[in-house]
């Protein structure tokens, strides 16, 4: 495949690895490394190249900790994203000089510390973290540990990040499609158009368009 990590490829390779199915180890390593480097260089640009590579290796340790059961709640790519973020914290902490904070300090005035927000975001009402999220945000200190709530991601921000990532990955996949098929798939899956509307915009019958889209998707799955 070309630049970028395709959702189909990474999802299926990780699913196969976690469930003990046959898979191409070399391809999984290459696609996972590409995804991991893109994520860690955006999140931790201050780290040297060798630590970015170590994060990718550590991410597989984190990934296999959760096991195949986690696939019932998340896709392979999402599980690997969580694993990369957890590995990034681990590697940063392991290589931090003694006494240096591994997270940015947050300074607040006394008045700010005493201020209690009157409201919480509507999307967080009733939000319950699953066991994987709690484990990933637990900080161990000797024999004891505590949950670091600052590590919990902002849900709205996470949705926006995933939306952007999906568009990037979709572009990487769709560059292999015929122009009219690529345009139709973008209209349907990225812009929420119906297949009838997409067919009209690409000047093709709905049945022909669906047949070509199905053929393209089958080719992509076979390539994975």
* pLDDT mean values, one per 10 residues, the chain (224 residues): 53 88 86 89 87 90 89 87 90 74 48 49 53 67 62 63 73 85 86 88 90 85 71
- Verdict on whether the full-model pTM lies above 0.85: no
- 3-class secondary-structure state, position 138: strand
Give residue 11's pLDDT: 81
- 3-class secondary-structure state, position 137: coil
- Please name which of 74, 72, 102, 80 lies closest in space to residue 17, comparing C-alpha atoms: 80
Say if CB 84 and CB 36 are below 8 A apart: yes
Give residue 104's pLDDT: 44
Give residue 200's pLDDT: 92
Give residue 156's pLDDT: 65
Give residue 142's pLDDT: 57
Give residue 5's pLDDT: 41
Cβ neighbors of 133 (< 8 A, separation 6 or more) are 152
Give residue 203's pLDDT: 92
């Amino acid at each position: 495949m070309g630049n970028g990590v395709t959702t189909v490829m990474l999802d299926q390779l990780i699913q196969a690895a976690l469930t003990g199915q046959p898979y191409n180890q070399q391809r999984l390593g290459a696609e996972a490394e590409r995804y991991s480097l893109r994520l860690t260089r955006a999140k931790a640009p201050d780290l040297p190249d060798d630590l970015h590579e170590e994060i990718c290796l550590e991410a597989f340790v984190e990934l296999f900790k959760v096991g195949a059961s986690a696939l019932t709640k998340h896709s392979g790519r999402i599980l690997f994203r969580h694993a990369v973020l957890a590995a990034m914290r681990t590697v940063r902490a392991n290589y931090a000089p003694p006494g240096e904070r591994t997270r940015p300090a947050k300074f607040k005035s006394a008045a700010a510390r005493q201020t209690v927000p009157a409201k919480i975001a509507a999307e967080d009402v009733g939000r319950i973290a699953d066991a994987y999220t709690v484990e990933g945000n637990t900080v161990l200190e000797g024999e004891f540990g505590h949950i670091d709530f600052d590590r919990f991601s902002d849900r709205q921000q996470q949705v926006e990040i995933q939306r952007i990532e999906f568009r990037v990955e979709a572009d990487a996949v769709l560059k292999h499609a015929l122009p009219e098929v690529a345009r139709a798939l973008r209209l349907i899956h990225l812009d929420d158009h119906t297949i009838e509307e997409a067919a009209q915009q690409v000047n093709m019958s709905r049945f022909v368009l669906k047949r070509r889209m199905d053929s393209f998707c089958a080719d992509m799955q076979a390539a994975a």
